[in-house]
A and B are shown apart, each in its own frame.
Chain A
Amino acid sequence: AQTVTQSQPEMSVQEAETVTLSCTYDTSESDYYLFWYKQPPSRQMILVIRQEAYKQQNATENRFSVNFQKAAKSFSLKISDSQLGDAAMYFCAYSGGNQFYFGTGTSLTVIP
């Protein structure tokens, strides 16, 4: 069965600094997608970044980038120049076949 693991239930970062959130997953599929979603207090799920497993190049979206290690089944999110608005729950997610699963989440606090 596919699983997604986030080993950091809580993280904090100083404003303008960089933070990395960890995610590992388990799958027997060769083709799949990985995502990071942000859930602010409003509880609306917001897509942060997406990675296609067949692409070796790490995805980037402005201040957000990933370190995708397919062999290690690792998919970490790096947030650069952290802003107060980045404070939220961050969920790593896996999509393969017809399934879509989330990790347990990491609560990110940004310290002014």
Chain B
Amino acid sequence: GAVVSQHPSRVICKSGTSVKIECRSLDFQATTMFWYRQFPKQSLMLMATSNEGSKATYEQGVEKDKFLINHASLTLSTLTVTSAHPEDSSFYICSARDAGLGGEKLFFGSGTQLSVL
């Protein structure tokens, strides 16, 4: 099946620094990628929808200036957590939509555990 690569898998940073998370679709072109945040034992909360070549669409309550999303190519989307604070500590998951032959499917990266000290 299709593969989505997400890096890094784990990052620890100091408060006030910025962290970039990469999400790549390895064997298909993803015009749309999604970024989710997941707290322990909870569901995936959609943060934003990232469309190639255009600005991301953020869900209500998600600060677009804090969570910068760039989708410059059909295979790469990045999420930058700017000026990170301890409350930003969470598990972040990206996913890429494959709307090719066989119908729509969504493939997930392995997630990034962010810990802000």
Nearest CB in chain A to that of B44: its residue: A102
Q: How far is the CB of A66 from chain B (nearest CB, A)?
A: 15
Whether B106 pairs with A104 at a CB distance below 8 angstroms is no
Q: Which of B97-117 contact A (CB under 8 A)?
A: 97, 103-108, 110-111
Q: How far is the CB of B54 from chain A (nearest CB, A)?
A: 11
Whether B103 pairs with A33 at a CB distance below 8 angstroms is yes
The one of A47, A50, A99, A101 in contact with B103, judged by C-beta atoms closer than 8 angstroms, is A50
Give 12 A-B pairs besides A43-B93, A43-B111, A93-B106 with Cβ atoms closer than 8 angstroms. A33-B104, A44-B108, A47-B107, A91-B44, A95-B104, A98-B57, A99-B46, A100-B95, A102-B43, A103-B43, A105-B42, A105-B43
**In the complex, which range does the number of interface residues on chain A fall in?**
20 to 34
**Best-surrounded residue of B41, B51, B91, B106 (most CB of chain A within 10 A):** B106
**In the complex, which range does the number of interface residues on chain B fall in?**
20 to 34
User: What 0/1 pattern do residues 37 to 81 of A give for CB contact below 8 A with B?
Assistant: 100001111010010100000000000000000000000000000
Give the secondary structure class of B's interface.
Answer: strand
Q: A33-B104, A100-B106 are in contact. Are A91 and B32 (CB under 8 A)?
A: no
B104 CB contacts on chain A under 8 angstroms: 33, 95
Q: A45-B95, A91-B43, A104-B43 are in contact. Are A99 and B105 (CB under 8 A)?
A: no
B93 CB contacts on chain A under 8 angstroms: 43, 45
Q: How far is the CB of A40 from chain B (nearest CB, A)?
A: 12
B38 CB contacts on chain A under 8 angstroms: 43
Nearest 9 pairs between A and B by C-beta? Answer: A45-B108, A104-B43, A102-B44, A105-B43, A33-B104, A102-B43, A43-B111, A44-B110, A100-B34
